[in-house]
Amino acid sequence: MKKIRFFPLLICLCLLFAFAAPPAFALDEPQLEAEAALAVDLASGDLLYSKNIDQQRSPASLTKIMTCLLTVEAVESGRAGFDDVVTAGPDCQQGMDSDSSNISIVSGEQMSLRDFFYGAVVASGNDACNVLAGHLAGSISAFVEQMNARAAELGCTGTHFVDPNGLSSENHTTAYDLYLITREAIRHPEFVTACSTVDYHIEPTNVNPERNLTNSNALLSDHGFYGPGYVYDGAAGVKTGYTRAAGYCLISTAERDGVRVLAIVLGCKGPNNSDSATIGSFTDSRLLYDWVFDNFSYREVLTSADPLTRVNIERAEGDGVAILHASGDVSLLLPNDVDVNERELHITIYDDQLVAPIRAGTPLGEVVIEVGGKLYGPISLVTSADVAMSRGQFLRDNVRDFFARGWVRAVLVILAVVLLTYIVLVARYRALRRKHLRARKRAEKQRRLAQEQRARSAVADPTQRFETIDPAERDLELGDLSRYFDDPDKK
């Protein structure tokens, strides 16, 4: 009887089920009705959710974010002031129709720049945007040019504005471009304060009685234009928008447990463009926030105490080795089912910086963290302690480097040539001097012999009264150069 081996069969079945199982890190994304949407972690800029983020769409009143950004930048630069008294021009109602949101501004009305600004942000006043544009740029058209130029500066590639309020269907942008614009706008405290203001009061003007404005963002308040039922705990700002071409749109932020998210939804449905009784921009935003907060949290993936790598430091005392750590603790907003222990570290070292002395905290490299299939970083790598310099090695290296310089080598060659030339000249001088002294001694000896010979001749012949001088001896005396040299025999 044949035996059946169950254990190998069991292994095969386990492997089969393992391959058929879904990926461990896959998240079930929220089912949004919006035509385009994104969610961004504001701390890192990481996209947590995206849908058609590069698709060009009409932004409706989300256009006003750029108008208000230019306004706060003008105030911060000193070109305008929120307390300035501004007079509405004759073009304040340009592009309006009976359904346009406005705060009933008329030509010649005077208010502070702050009142017009809050009228544009809180109540989405299209007329207030026209006044801001004319006041800041001299005309609406000139202001629109500034809007497009600023969008290009921020890196927007799919954006073009034709008015300051978004009424025209010819305005177009993308969800990602709107993120770039909004990210810049919320860096300005006055903008953040205004777009999160629920109620704003305007005192009576020279034309109109007092006004009480309510924010159109129903995530913030139940008593706004869109009614109750949408308030979301932790929500703030930024701007609502609706036209028939754009659909219902919303850019907002929300924070929970230290996680701060910006959400954008475009092209949503609602009572004015479908049979839906609810405003899709608010319901989709709430759904998107719930998905992020339920599935993401900050996880520590690296600490500054973790030794990551060892590097050799030139001119360092001791063994010349330094241990590098991350410059700080690293926490990332990750899906809850990601195992941070399966991280991968991609380390780059700045080789040209590895020379002592080095102060603690000096960046000597960087690390990129790969976890959950995404890359995060780079994060600087530093030493936790000073790296002292070896003085002996420093001196040796300086001497070596000094003599390795081209101009130093050239000077040494020139000095060697000069020294060699001097030695040759001195040697030649001494050889000539010795030769001359020997010749002088020989001539002196010959002269004495000649004198002795003449003396002997005079004794032998007393009648000889004159002494005959040898021409060679005379010439030798005339050419005697001994007065120019020291006589080595005279001490």
Please tell me whether residue 25 adopts helix, strand or coil conformation.
coil
Q: Lowest-confidence range among 24-38, 252-266, 398-412?
A: 398-412
The closest of 165, 138, 129 to 79, measured between CA atoms, is 138
Position 343 in a domain: yes
How confident is the model at residue 471, as a pLDDT? 60
The CA distance from 97 to 135, in Å, is 22
Of 350, 368, 394, the position where a domain reaches its end is: 394
Question: Percent of the chain at pLDDT above 90?
Answer: 59
Position 456 in a domain: no
How confident is the model at residue 5, as a pLDDT? 45
The CA distance from 140 to 82, in Å, is 19
**How many domains are there within the chain?**
3
Amino acid at 394: F
Are 335 and 372 in contact, with CB atoms under 8 Å apart?
yes
How confident is the model at residue 457, as a pLDDT? 77
At 285-323, the pLDDT tens digits run 999 999 999 999 999 998 988 899 989 888 787 778 888
Read off the pLDDT of each residue in 95-114 and give the average, rounded to a whole number.
Answer: 91
Q: Tell me: do 60 and 164 sit in the same domain.
A: yes
Residue 319: which domain range? Answer: 303-394
The CA distance from 131 to 148, in Å, is 18
Mean pLDDT of the chain: 87
Q: Tell me: do 238 and 365 sit in the same domain.
A: no
Position 4 in a domain: no
Position 411 in a domain: no
CATH number of the domain bearing residue 134: 3.40.710.10
How confident is the model at residue 464, as a pLDDT? 54
How confident is the model at residue 488, as a pLDDT? 55
Q: Tell me: do 287 and 231 sit in the same domain.
A: yes
Write down how long the chain is. Answer: 491
Q: Tell me: do 180 and 239 sit in the same domain.
A: yes
Read off the pLDDT of each residue in 123-136 and give the average, rounded to a whole number.
Answer: 96
Question: 10 Å Cβ neighbour count for 237?
Answer: 25
The CA distance from 294 to 302, in Å, is 23
How confident is the model at residue 312, as a pLDDT? 85
Q: Tell me: do 342 and 486 sit in the same domain.
A: no
At 363-392, the pLDDT tens digits run 999 999 998 888 888 999 998 888 887 766
Position 256 in a domain: yes
Q: Where are the alpha helices (DSSP H) in 242-366?
A: 280-295
**pLDDT of 405 strictly over 50:** yes
Please tell me whether residue 120 adopts helix, strand or coil conformation.
helix
Position 130 in a domain: yes
Q: Would strands 85-87 and 110-112 be described as parallel, antiparallel, or unpaired? A: antiparallel
Q: Tell me: do 292 and 316 sit in the same domain.
A: no
At 67-85, the pLDDT tens digits run 999 999 999 999 999 999 9
At 410-421, the pLDDT tens digits run 888 898 999 989
CATH number of the domain bearing residue 340: 2.60.410.10
Position 13 in a domain: no
How confident is the model at residue 486, as a pLDDT? 57
Q: Tell me: do 260 and 358 sit in the same domain.
A: no
Amino acid at 240: T
The two tokens of residue 300 are: 């520590």
Q: Tell me: do 269 and 328 sit in the same domain.
A: no
Q: Tell me: do 479 and 435 sit in the same domain.
A: yes
Q: Tell me: do 68 and 145 sit in the same domain.
A: yes
The two tokens of residue 48 are: 């947590």
How confident is the model at residue 489, as a pLDDT? 57
Highest-pLDDT range among 256-270, 330-344, 464-478: 256-270
Q: What is the largest CA-CA distance in the chain?
A: 168
The CA distance from 462 to 453, in Å, is 14
User: Burial of 256 by CB count in 10 Å (0-12 exposed, 13-18 middle, 19+ buried)?
Assistant: middle
**pLDDT of 160 strictly over 80:** yes
Are 488 and 437 in contact, with CB atoms under 8 Å apart?
yes
pTM over 0.75: no
Q: Tell me: do 357 and 280 sit in the same domain.
A: no
The CA distance from 310 to 364, in Å, is 11
Highest-pLDDT range among 14-28, 204-218, 445-459: 204-218
Position 9 in a domain: no
